[in-house]
Structure 1
Amino acid sequence: MTFQLQNYIDVRVMDILSCQEVKPEIISWSPRIIVLHNFLSNEECDYLRAIARPRLQVSTVVDVKTGKGIKSNVRTSSGMFLSPTEKKYPMIQAIEKRISVFSQIPAENGELIQVLRYEKDQFYKPHHDYFSDTFNLKRGGQRIATMLMYLSDDVEGGETYFPMAGTGDCSCGGKTVKGMSVKPIKGDAVLFWSMGLDGQSDPNSIHGGCEVLSGEKWSATKWMRQKPTF
């Protein structure tokens, strides 16, 4: 079913890094998915958008043969990666540390944050975040988990869709489909694992970005690996 504000973990976590109250909610155990309400402040969301806007380029996907980024009609957004220098900015450092605290994965195991913009009719078809090539495994190993942070409101559609989660129907870009979806709400984040408890890549972690019907969907993604990436 479409994710509703229910089934919260019965605890509120006060983030000492930002003095804001982050409220975790488990929405699926297989695949493992947690929605973190109020993960980013309005100021942090606007800051990431401001950094990214003048540097947006057409998004790419990983070529399984070469491990390099290539353009594809599977993904129709625009985006950019923060630089290693920007990773050291105080506000970015606070976000990085918060991601590490809630994922329980060391900050040095994370890739650089990618900021994305989806405009009307844009989408990202269902895919896995873990790698199918050997090239990308050389730096940091396999991807363990993903933190997907929403940076904007006033968007229709644009849900994050997990076709293998749940047992009901959900809304995805104005269509009713099987699985579970999370509506983008500014400041919220979705933490999900690409690797199961057995240490193997989890095929149930397949997910996509539903078509945006109106407005702009801004998000920031942090992928986390088995080992340090830098």
Structure 2
Amino acid sequence: MASPMKIVFGLLTFVTVGMIIGALFQLAFIRRLEDSYGTDFPSHRRMHESQNVVNLQLSGGISHWANDKDAVILRLGYVKPEIIGWSPRIIVYHNFLSMEECDYLRAIASPRLQISTVVDTKTGKGIKSDVRTSSGMFLNPEERKYPMIQAIEKRISVYSQIPVENGELIQVLRYEKNQFYRPHHDYFSDTFNLKRGGQRVATMLMYLSDNVEGGETYFPVAGSGECSCGGKMVKGLCVKPNKGDAVLFWSMGLDGQSDPNSIHGGCEVLGGEKWSATKWMRQRTTS
């Protein structure tokens, strides 16, 4: 008959081996979770990998998400949020669009560009103005049904937490050298535009081109420092236009009132072409 000491020793050995095996299984499980998040974990090699990897998004770019349609549409593992301001609320979403999506929007817009207009505060209609010197166009309701456009709109809805049906049609803009958009508010100061969908709550501004000199998005009353706007140092906060990135900012505060601090503008383009796509979101459905 085994002695009590041998029994105790055997039990301790059994428990120890079990703990080691359990720890190994736990480590393996954690590793699988990390891998499933693709480039979202802060490996320097991953964070600085070729932009070509981002281009794979619509064709199952991150193999771990290949069978998850919603994950692919939302670009999980690619999109990296960066909060840069609280008054107004501003978030930069790095890698928000794939390179294919950027080029797709530009290709749709190119043949239909017209001189941009601004909203007339008296009539609510678009008029030409020296305040805005770009050219642009709006996607039509039929184009809104295209799979890639639907994917972009769903992504905007999820990251802004505003329903798709509350969004206006996407506008694509091109700023050439020396063109700009002086500081302005996106919310309406007329009653004409408020009849359909109410006030503009937030804006998602997406950058579609790279190698742009100048052309920053400028928030003159955000932050407490200085930044470069079209080659000039100014007070406020500036966001450099990087292809695939997007800026989400709110025109209304948490109190439900229009936020005057949301004033913003497009700095002068010094070199190259700045392409962007804008999605304005309302309080209610626009359809």
Q: TM-score, normalised by structure 1?
A: 0.93
Match for residue 17 of structure 1?
A: 73
Shift of 1:12: 4.6
SS of 1:146's partner is strand
2:243 aligned residue: 186
Rounded to whole Å, the distance in 2 between the matches of 1:80 and 1:90 is 20
Kindly indicate whether residue 93 of structure 2 is the aligned counterpart of residue 53 of structure 1: no
Please identify runs of 4+ aligned residues in structure 1 that moved more than 4 A.
11-15
In the TM superposition, residue 16 of structure 1 has moved relative to its aligned partner by 3.5
Q: Which AA in structure 2 matches 1:53?
A: S
In 2, are the aligned partners of 1:12 and 1:24 still within 8 Å (CA)? no
Gaps of 5+ in 2: 1-38, 42-64, 66-70
* Structure 1 residue 141 corresponds to structure 2 residue 198: yes
CA RMSD of aligned residues (A): 1.4
Aligned twin of 1:115: 172
Alignment of 1:4-83 (within 5 A): 12=40, 15-17=71-73, 19-20=75-76, 21-83=78-140
Unaligned segments of structure 1, at least 5 residues: 1-10
Q: Which residue identity lines up with residue 103 of structure 1 in the other structure?
A: S
Distance 1:103 1:79 in 2: 24
State yes or no: 1:210 paired with 2:276. no
Tell whether 2:180 aligns with 1:104: no
Q: Does 1:199 align with 2:256?
A: yes
Q: Output one character per residue of 1:6-38: Cα deviation in whole Å (capped at 9) or x when no partner.
A: xxxxx9598441545100000001110000000
Residue correspondences, number: 220
Q: In the alignment, residue 218 of structure 1 is paired with which amino acid?
A: W
In structure 2, relative to structure 1, the CA distance for the partners of 1:18 and 1:204 (3 Å cut) is closer
Q: Deviations over 1:82-109 (max 9, x none)?
A: 0000000000000000000000000000
Q: Percent identity?
A: 83
Distance 1:19 1:146 in 2: 20
Structure 2 equivalent of residue 4 of structure 1? none
Q: Distance in 2 between matches of 1:73 and 1:56?
A: 17
Q: Whole-Å Cα distance in 1 between the matches of residues 248 and 277 of structure 2?
A: 12
For 2:177 and 2:193, the matched residues in 1 are separated by 31
Larger Rg: 2
**Aligned partner of residue 17 in structure 1, secondary structure:** helix
* Letter paired with 2:107: A
**Whose relative contact order is higher, 1 or 2, with alpha carbons under 8 Å and at least 6 apart?**
1
